[in-house]
Structures are given as structure tokens and as C-alpha cells.
Amino acid sequence: MSTDLAVIGDTHVPGREAAVPQWVRERVRAADHTIHTGDFDDPETLETIEGLATGLTAVAGNIDPPAIDLPDVAQFVVEDVTFVVVHGTGPQESCPERVARLVRQTTDDDAERVVGVAGHTHTPTDTTVEGLRLLNPGTATGATPGSRATMYSVRVEGASLDVELLEE
């Protein structure tokens, strides 16, 4: 059996963009579970994503108001993979190392496979830092400083990941 994840972040609605694009909404609706890396911008945007998603794991971003009331770090397991979600607040150039450090501080040493998921930079990234896989879906709306709407579709089967960047 496999699990289908929609990985989105940095929606910034309504502060920088008017709405989450229809193709992103459809992908979230179709997924078994959705990850959002923060910077919803408004409680209504969080409610919109919650209404679309079958299941949602989300964290607060650096511009999210207190009314959004999400944790700074979230951890969950899908099949044999532990996902640790953070926003990644801080300078862009040190984001991968900072996120990797946060992920390592959060996870149990017994976890078989760990993947860190962060946002903040608005740049889609799939990289490895000291053996730890890190995903950043970019911005689901194309909000500045991003140049296009992006997200990841991730299929998890056991400890294997099939990661596909979707963009418009």
C-alpha cells in the first residue's frame, strides 16, 4: 500500500496573493494527507486548506498571526517514514542547515527514515544535508519572492519516497 501526500506552503493569502490556485486545491483534495509549511497569512486560509485536505499536518510561519495557533514543529509518521515539518524562519542562505539541525533535535534516534519539510524561502528544493533528506515545496501561490506556484506530490511506500515537483 502507498500513501499520497500533497506538500504545500507559503500561501500568503490574502497578503500577497488573492487565492490558492485551483490546481493546488484539486491536488490537496485528492491527496491522502497534506503538509503545509506555514505562512498561511490569515485564519481563513488555514480554514480553506483544512476544508480541502483529508488530513493536515501544518506549522506556523513567521508571518502567521497568533489566531492561526499552530505549532512551530510538527512530526508524524507515514508508513516507514517520519516527517518533521518546520517553517524554516531565518536567513535563506543557511536554511537547509538550520532545518536539518531542527529536524535532528526533534526526531527520535530510533526513526528508520526521516525527512525534513520546510518552507520560508519560496524556492522549491529537494536536497540532502548530512544524510538527511529535506524538501521545500516553494510557494503554492507564486507569492513573492517566488516566481511561480509550486508544490510537491509525494508518494510514500514503506520507506521509499517518489517526489514530484508540480508547478504552474
The CATH number of residue 18's host domain is 3.60.21.10
Distance CA 133, CA 159 (A): 12
**Which range marks the domain in which residue 150 is found?**
3-167
Q: Which of 119, 117, 101 is nearest to 63 (CA)?
A: 119
| pLDDT given for residue 111 in this prediction | 65
- Please report where in the chains the cell 506556523 appears, as a residue: 60
- So what's the pLDDT on residue 44? 97
Average pLDDT per 10 consecutive residues for the chain, totaling 168 residues: 96 96 98 98 97 97 95 95 93 87 82 88 94 95 96 96 96
Q: How far is CA 157 from the centre of its chain?
A: 19
C-alpha grid cell, residue 20: 490558492
Give the pLDDT of residue 26: 98
DSSP strand E in the chain: where? 3-8, 33-36, 56-58, 73-78, 81-86, 113-117, 124-129, 132-137, 150-157, 160-167
Q: How many domains does the chain have?
A: 1
pTM of the predicted structure, to 2 decimals: 0.95
Residue-level pLDDT at 110:
64
